[in-house]
Amino acid sequence: MQSTSHDATVEVEFAGHKVLVPAGGYYDRYRSNPDLDEVARDPAAGNIDFFRRIPKQKVASRVGPVWAPNFYYRSSSVQVLMLAPVDRLRSALPTPLEPLRAVPGKGLVALTFFSYAVCDNDPYDEVSIAVVVRRPGARGSHARELMSSIRRRSFNAHVLALPVSTEIARVRGVEGYQLPKWLTGMEVDIGDEARATIFSTDGTPDLTLSAPMPNIHEVPSQSHMSTNTMIHRVDGRWHQTAVQSNLLAYGQELFPRGIALSRQGGPISELLNGLGAGMVLRLDIVRDAQIVLNMPIPLGGFA
């Protein structure tokens, strides 16, 4: 759940939009180019040595020069990976993307609730629905590609929905990355159990997920890394956006029991229903992780 004590706000501008952010928060002070020595003194951020190895640079983007990559110093998430009919997934994907088959006739849909407690954009929550797709240009066996992705902890996905809980996160995601973001309410609570809810824009419940906690493993920083790649269009051209994760405390369960997924008719529920997402193959809960969100880069030779 978001953990901010900021009540006062200040108006900032991004890509021609005027947005309110917490006064004295990370975005107000640093504009995505933080002094890591100051961040290190924030007890909520934890140990940030991982980020010192990834220098920020001012890079060109569709909204002008921006500081990148974006840092998420303290995050948590709960994800269910579900089977869905390949024909429905293929109809939801733009050409030439192809769903990666997990079993004959079935592909994979990931529903993920994220909570970013400390980050360059100030605290916010986010929900993602993504279809796992074949690596651009891949040929041959789906099973071999899937096993390779599992072994390397590296998947390619096309995001169909990415609602967020703050306006600065929405504006940056839409204008900077052209991702399918909108502003709505949500709650993420990872305690004795994991429970997460997203609301429709009118405030009524859309979808609620609850799950018993798997065994949580605490590991040294940079001992359990993963890189997932979003494949999406920016201004009509295909791009890839790498998301690097440094897991610090996490748990996973195959064919989990006790998952409760209540679909209550909002846009996220309707999207999952339209995809035919059903059986849960895997539950992943991350109690603590550090994330690096890179800028989109063109995907050459893919059309």
The model's pLDDT over 101-125, given as tens digits with 9 standing for 90+, comes to: 999 999 999 999 999 999 999 999 9
- At 303 the pLDDT is 66
Which pLDDT band holds residue 58 (cuts at 50, 70, 90)? very high
The residue with tokens 């007890």 is 43
Q: Assign residue 200 the CATH number of its domain.
A: 2.40.400.10
pLDDT > 80? residue 301: no
Residue 88 lies in a domain: yes
Integer Cα distance of 282 and 211 in angstroms: 11
pLDDT > 70? residue 2: no
Between 255 and 2, whose confidence is greater?
Answer: 255
152, 211, 247 from 147: Cα distances, Å = 9, 26, 21
Residue 222 lies in a domain: yes
Which of 206, 210, 208, 209 shows the shortest CA–CA distance to 270? Answer: 206
pLDDT > 70? residue 68: yes
Report percent pLDDT > 90 for the chain.
93
pLDDT > 80? residue 210: yes
Residue 280 lies in a domain: yes
- At 267 the pLDDT is 98
Residue 156 lies in a domain: yes
- At 24 the pLDDT is 96
- At 302 the pLDDT is 77
Q: What is the torsional sign of CA 227, 76, 24, 176?
A: positive
Residue 50 lies in a domain: yes
Mean pLDDT of the chain: 95
**Do residues 129 and 271 lie in contact, with contact meaning Cβ atoms separated by under 8 Å?**
yes
**Do residues 281 and 108 lie in contact, with contact meaning Cβ atoms separated by under 8 Å?**
yes
Which helix (H) or strand (E) segment is 271 a member of? helix 267-275
- At 151 the pLDDT is 86
Overall average pLDDT of the 118-134 stretch: 98
- pTM for this prediction: 0.95
Burial (Cβ within 10 Å: 0-12, 13-18, ≥19) of residue 286: buried
pLDDT > 60? residue 222: yes
Residue 4 lies in a domain: no
Q: Which amino acid is at 262?
A: S
Residue 196 lies in a domain: yes
Residue 3 lies in a domain: no
Integer Cα distance of 176 and 197 in angstroms: 26
What residue numbers bound the domain in which 67 lies?
9-298
Number of domains present in the structure of the chain = 1
Q: Beta strand 17-22 with 9-14: parallel, antiparallel or unpaired?
A: antiparallel
Which pLDDT band holds residue 7 (cuts at 50, 70, 90)? confident
- In this structure, the chain runs to a length of 303
Overall average pLDDT of the 223-246 stretch: 96
The residue with tokens 């992705």 is 149
